[in-house]
Amino acid sequence: MNEGEKKWLKWYFLAIVLGVLCGKGMEILLGIALGKDWELLTSLMVPGFTIMALLFIGFLHQKEKEDVIG
pTM equals: 0.86
Q: What is the DSSP letter of 61?
A: H
User: How many residues belong to the chain?
Assistant: 70
Q: Please say whether the dihedral angle defined by the alpha carbons of residues 31, 51, 61 and 70, taken in this order, is positive or negative.
A: negative
Asked whether the beta carbons of 52 and 19 are under 8 A apart, the reply is yes
Q: How confident is the model at residue 29 (pLDDT cuts 50, 70, 90)?
A: very high
- Domain spans, the chain: 20-63
Q: Which amino acid is at 52?
A: M
Give per-residue pLDDT as tens, 3-27: 778 889 999 999 999 999 999 999 9
Percent of the chain with pLDDT over 70: 100
Q: How confident is the model at residue 68 (pLDDT cuts 50, 70, 90)?
A: confident
